[in-house]
Amino acid sequence: MTASPMVVTRFAPSPSGHLHVGGARTALFCWAYAKGRGGSFTLRIEDTDQKRSSDAASIGFAKDLKWLGIDWDEGPEYEGSGGGPRGPYFQSERLPIYRRHLDRLIAAGNAYYAFETAEELTALREAAKAKGVPFRYKGEIARARSVEEIAALRAAGAPSVIRFHTRAGPITIEDEVLGTAVIPDGETDDFVIQKADGFPTYHFAVVVDDELMGVTHVLRAQEHFNNTAKHIVLQDALGFRRPTYGHLPLIVNPDGSKMSKRDKDKVLRKAIAERALTSPPVGTVDPATFAAWLKDKTIQLPPEVTTRLATLLGVTLPEINVDDFRRSGYLPEVLCNFLSLNGWSPGGDLEKFDNEFLREHFDLARVLKTPAKFDRAKLLAFNLHAISAMTREAFVTRAAAHGQAFHAGFMAKLTVAQFRSLCDASHERSKTLDDLFRSNTFITTADDDLVLDPKAVKKVLEGGSPCGYDILRGARAVLAPLADWTVGGLEGVLKPHAESAVGGSLGSLAQPLRVALCGSTVSPPIFDTLAILGRESSLARIDRCLAQSGVVA
RNA sequence: GGCCCCAUCGUCUAGCCCGGUCCAGGACACCUCCCUUUCAAGGAGGACACAUGGGUUCGAAUCCCAUUGGGGUCACCA
């Protein structure tokens, strides 16, 4: 025995969707724990469920992790991360390895073939439920079968699984977060370790791979806590070491429910019910799928359809996956910071820190035991603070990158100079990188296509005395001859004009202009708005607005 | 329901391990006022929590027990 072995942690998602924020936090903590101790962080893809796994999803994880700034030392190769001597890192490519250890277990009498069908097991479970007792698989019959009998059954093509023979006795779990727990004798039954399709189950693959990949510390969500008993008996039977465990508290919705991809469908169903829609909006799904989805709450629509429906219905889908937050314009460093605060804290009053800090200070002793409700309002506030702390230059760069990725059409309609002006004008009011694009659509709308919000028209243009239209007419008169159409120049004529025309209240001058220019009562500062739009567009919009006043009146 | 775990403001949490410095601190949200060319932002105030009941102790948010409440888990999903 020399020095203590290097710390090795791993994040092992199943590629059945995008990276969930809860998963992101687990990955972040695993990364921080290992890297903060000179250790190594491994990414492993647990694709042992042939029905649910997809290659696209595993690439998605890699992309999301990279975006968050989490690098892995070993694992699938992706943009400079990954590789390593203990691969492959996709479990579906490790079948022969599992086979070897499975054979050891069978040879030692610690595992056996079982031939019950899924239907038979379901019936057994229901019977137990009816009697009010928990179902535990008893393997006496299966275990009593002779080698010859088993061989004959298998040769005859009878589907079978392999189960682990759990020995009697309580199982003690030592956990760095939750402390010690004893699972009583009989709670852990003879669970399946190889499925009928020849793939190992999660329990088996995880134990084998953690051993072979040298994992020393298993940090995972608390929902796995009870599984630990299974993993421990497996490790003992296989002669493996037992890693240190740390179960992290769950991250849940504000109402206490589990954060799930299904939450998006839930929002859509609600919106549809409110509108009493009975058929799917055109261009979404076929009526049959739509009806089935409405009825069965467990069905999820494909992501593209979900997004399209949300747009058509005008509802905002909740962000669940890392990529959702990215689209919504959250900064990766803010997401990491905020996620760290769910279930861990550095102590004291400190709450703003970066990944480097986390890596230096993260420890299991300060991990909370209670589930954390994900507070989007606080996340938003953090994002706003981070954005306002940026230099103008940084904001332009980041906003442009976000725009190229998610609002290419918007970007294409603006010159570089216009975009920079827009950034400067919107920076301090941006809570997310996406705000810039969502709240300034008036810029990319053609002058003639601008729709004026009726409520704004009524309040700002038709109301007041003098009424907004009159103020607008007056403003047009001073703007038309202006040569220096810049923020400074505009301010130079408009401020004195406000002084003489509306008693010094710039507000009563700015609002009618804003509605004429943008169609709404909200926009960047009025001089910026005029400058970005330019003389021609601005005057055209004012004229159009004035012209329509005659029609309405 | 069985089993396991947990319990500080509405929310994220500090304090708990090593009882007194806590009539419990910070942040987000909320309320009021100020600032203001809109919306934000910003400034100044404010309201808001130790689940309950028993112990132990001179003294408990901090230790023990019970109750209640919450979460997790009981798959050929991970």
Which of A248, A280, A311 represents a domain boundary (last residue)? A248
pTM above 0.90, yes or no: yes
DSSP one-letter code for A519: S
Helices (H) and strands (E) in chain A, counts: 25, 13
Q: Specify whether A522 is located in the same domain as A418.
A: no
Give the integer Cα–Cα distance in Å for A151 and A69.
Answer: 52
Tokens of A145: 């079968």
Note whether residue A420 is domain-resident: yes
A261 carries an active-site annotation: yes
Choose the weakest-confidence range: A95-99, A463-467, A483-487, A504-508. A463-467
Which nt has its C1' nearest the CA of A342?
Answer: B12
Query: Nucleotide B29: nearest residue by CA–C1'?
Result: A377
Q: What is the pLDDT of residue A2?
A: 45
* Residues A228 and A244 placed together within one structural domain of the fold: yes
Residue range A276-331, pLDDT digits in tens: 888 898 888 889 889 888 888 777 888 888 888 988 888 888 899 999 999 999 99
Please give the radius of gyration of chain A, using alpha carbons only, rounded to the nearest integer.
31
If asked whether residues A103 and A243 sit together in one domain, one would say yes
Q: Nearest protein residue to B14's C1' (by CA)? A: A348
In angstroms, the CA A478 to CA A365 distance is 68
CATH of the domain at A171: 3.40.50.620
Domain boundary residue among A206, A226, A248? A248
Amino acid A55: pLDDT: 81
Q: A111-115, A116-120, A204-208: which has the minimum mean pLDDT?
A: A116-120
CA of A314 to C1' of B41 (A): 27
Look up the domain containing A435 and give its range.
390-439
Q: Of A130-139, A317-326, A408-417, A439-448, give the lowest mean pLDDT range.
A: A130-139
Q: Does A209 lie in the same domain as A175?
A: yes
The residues, any chain, with a CB within 8 Å of residue A197's CB and separated by 6 or more, are: A50
Q: What is the pLDDT of residue A1?
A: 43
Q: How confident is the model at residue A19 (pLDDT cuts 50, 70, 90)?
A: very high
| Segment A202-243, tens digit of pLDDT | 999 999 999 999 999 999 999 999 999 999 999 999 999 999
* Residues A171, A312 share a domain: no
- What pLDDT does A550 receive? 62
* Active-site choice (A63, A66, A195, A261): A261
Which nt has its C1' nearest the CA of A48? Answer: B78
Tell me the CA–C1' distance in angstroms for A351 and B43: 22
- Does residue A491 share a domain with residue A345? no
- Which nucleotide is closest to A177, CA to C1'? B5
Averaged pLDDT for residues A15-41: 95
For residue range A155-201, list pLDDT tens digits in order.
999 899 999 999 999 999 999 999 999 999 999 999 999 999 999 99
**A216/A196 Cα distance (integer angstroms):** 31
Q: How confident is the model at residue A553 (pLDDT cuts 50, 70, 90)?
A: very low
Nucleotide nearest to A223 (CA to C1'): B72
CATH number at residue A491: 1.10.10.350
Domain count, chain A: 4
Surface-to-core class of residue A120, CB atoms within 10 Å of its CB (0-12 exposed, 13-18 middle, 19+ buried): exposed
| Residues A244, A346 within the same domain | no
Closest residue (CA to C1') to nucleotide B28 in the complex: A378
Q: Are residue A471 and residue A395 in the same domain, yes or no?
A: no
- Residues A136 and A206 both lie in one domain: yes
Q: Strand B positions with any atom < 7 Å from protein CB? A: 1-8, 10-15, 25-29, 36-42, 70-78
Say if A47 falls within a structural domain: no
**Among candidate residues A399, A422, A439, the one where a domain is terminated:** A439
Percent of residues, chain A, with pLDDT higher than 70: 99
Q: Using the structure, give the distance in angstroms from the CA atom of A26 to the C1' atom of B66, rounded to a whole number.
A: 36
Q: What is the mean pLDDT of chain A?
A: 92
